Amino acid sequence: MKAEQLILSDSKVSPEYLVTQSNSLIETPQDLTLQEKRIILTLASLVQPGDDNFRIHRIKVKDLADIIGIKEKNFYTKVENVIEKLQNKMVTIETERSKLNMHWLSSSEYFKGQGYVELEFSEKLRPFLLELKQNYTPFKLRNVLRLRSEYYIRIYELLKQYEKVKKRVFSLEELRYHLNIPPDKYKQYAHLKNRIILRAQEELKEKTDLIFEFQEQKEGRKVVGVAFYIKKNRTLLKEVLSNEAPDSTPYELLIRFGVRPDKAKSMVDQYQEDQIKRNITYILENKEHDDIDNISGYIIAAIEGGYAGSDDELLSDSSTKSFSIETLNSWLLKKYRGTTSVVTKLLLEDHVINFLKQEGLNEKEAQEYWNENCEEINLKVKEIVQHNRNNKSKRKNK
């Protein structure tokens, strides 16, 4: 496939996009600075589930500067420098069969004076970022973008991988290996604990969907390992779900919850604004958000399936609610005039639903009306039957 076929014009970056990596890539030591790591994760978030090849992503330099935290006025030069250094960075993935050395990027092209850069992953990274079916870990990009150290990001990734297990144990050597800590840095455990583990604990609690506690493992008085106990950060999830601007457009809301731009645009074109907002609200109010990493999938399904009901259905609901019980009672008096035998609930239901359909309600609306009012209707018919019996008894006694 030619490169031109893989180019996406102005790929939009969003902290709400999903990053999905193979566990083997997460386990691998990564010699990346904080800004380089943010770029790699941002690029990974642009990989779409349906992609079967890596695309060349054209990203606005300003967007990239914002998302990786470059605030200086000369951000164009800063971003260019970061990308040039990243282009030379390599990653090594070892398996039982091989040792794979590769660059993170196969190409990076910086267009001077045009305000954008084009980036593409190395083709050798395909098994670790594309078409993943098992042994992978997803998370929202926003969870890592605000973390202030590459070490904190790596701890988040390593713990996120074990989130369902709820516990992960490292020897100190393993922890240093996974975090890619140089041999001459944080040699004493106290330094490692105070400068990385405790600070990561605070940052993850404040900025991500995970929190953790840890317990030191000792041999005698010497700390030889750390056990991490992983929990969902429910407080942050509630804040994320509640801090939505009421005047956001449907497109902005869909993007906010991780729907891809092309899908969001298609849905805005296909569905009315009220239907989109109503179904988003429905999901937020009705789904248990223990994990909102794939809330975009629920939202798409709700809008396409009309979980919150269509405008016509809402109007119908309104019409069934406003359907006069007095009108029905008048019909019941006529229908069961003279009846003295028991009217079974099943037969009554059949009679009432047929009447409601004759009055203009459809099958679903009639059934819903019956379900909501069956006890009252049943009681009314019993009163009619009893009244008929009393009248019959009086006539006999005359």
Domain range holding 157?
A: 146-243
Q: What does the alpha-carbon distance between residue 32 and residue 384 come to, in Å, rounded to a whole number?
A: 82
What CATH number corresponds to the domain at position 111?
A: 1.10.10.10
**Domain stops at, among 243, 260, 292:** 243
Are residues 359 and 376 both part of a single domain?
A: yes
Q: Report the pLDDT value the prediction gives residue 239, as an integer from 0 to 100.
A: 61
Domain boundary pick from 141, 173, 203: 141
Residues 159 and 30 in one domain: no
261 and 382, same domain (yes or no) = no
Lowest average pLDDT, out of 72-76, 294-298, 328-332, 354-358, goes to: 294-298
Mean pLDDT of 46-68: 86
CA distances from 26 to 30, 92, 132 (A): 9, 12, 14
Contact 35, 85 (CB under 8 A): no
Q: In the structure, what pLDDT confidence band is assigned to residue 397 with cuts at 50, 70 and 90?
A: confident
> CA-CA distances (angstroms) from residue 358 to 47, 83, 188, 333?
55, 71, 83, 17
Q: Give yes or no for residue 289 having a pLDDT over 70.
A: no
Residues paired with 105 in a beta bridge: 121
Share of the chain above pLDDT 90, in %: 42
Same domain, 43 and 118: yes
Q: Is the pLDDT of residue 234 over 90?
A: no
The region that residue 180 occupies, defined by phi over 0 for left and psi between -120 and 50 for alpha, beta otherwise, is left
The Cα–Cα gap between 29 and 93 comes to: 9
Same structural domain, 103 and 210? no
Q: Please state the rounded mean pLDDT for residues 92-96.
A: 89
Same domain, 248 and 368: no
Q: Which DSSP letter does residue 265 get?
A: H
Degrees to nearest 5, angle at CA 273 with 270 and 277: 115
Q: What is the pLDDT of residue 283?
A: 75
**What's the mean pLDDT in 226-236?**
86
33 and 137 fall within a common domain: yes
Domain count along the chain: 4
Nearest to 156 by CA among 172, 171, 139, 169: 139
The larger pLDDT score, comparing residue 253 to residue 210, is at 210
pLDDT at position 119 over 80: yes
Residue 360 has which token pair?
């203009």
**Least confident piece of the model among 100-109, 150-159, 166-175, 360-369:** 360-369
Give the pLDDT score at 18. 86
Mean per-residue pLDDT of the chain:
84
Verify that 236 and 343 share a domain, yes or no. Answer: no
**Which pLDDT value is given to residue 324?**
65
Confidence category of residue 26, pLDDT binned at 50, 70, 90:
very high
pLDDT the model gives residue 319: 46
Location of structure tokens 């000369």: 74
> Which pLDDT value is given to residue 109?
92
Question: Which one-letter amino acid corresponds to residue 335?
Answer: K
The arithmetic mean of pLDDT across residues 299-312, rounded, is 74
Rounded CA separation 20/168 (Å) = 20
pLDDT above 80 (res 318): no
pLDDT in tens, 185-209: 999 999 999 999 999 999 999 999 8
Contact 227, 214 (CB under 8 A): yes
Per-residue pLDDT, 317:
47
End of a domain among 120, 141, 162? 141
pLDDT (average), residues 11-25: 87
Distances (CA, A) of 50 to 129, 130, 207, 257, 296: 12, 9, 30, 19, 15
Both tokens assigned to 349: 């239901």
So what's the pLDDT on residue 56?
Answer: 92
pLDDT tier, 228 (very low <50, low <70, confident <90, very high otherwise): very high
Provide the pLDDT confidence category of residue 8 given band limits of 50, 70 and 90: very low
Same domain, 64 and 95: yes
% of the chain surpassing 70 pLDDT: 87
Higher pLDDT, 367 or 60: 60
**Per-residue model confidence (pLDDT) at position 1:** 41
Q: Comparing 286 with 305, which gets the higher pLDDT?
A: 305
Do 130 and 34 share a structural domain? yes
CA distance 304 to 307: 8
- DSSP code per residue over 168-206: EEEEHHHHHHHHT--TTSS-SHHHHIIIIIHHHHHHHHH
Residue range 136-157: average pLDDT? 94
176 and 296 belong to one structural domain: no
Q: What are phi and psi of 211, to 5 degrees?
A: -130, 160
Could you tell me if 250 and 384 lie in one domain? no
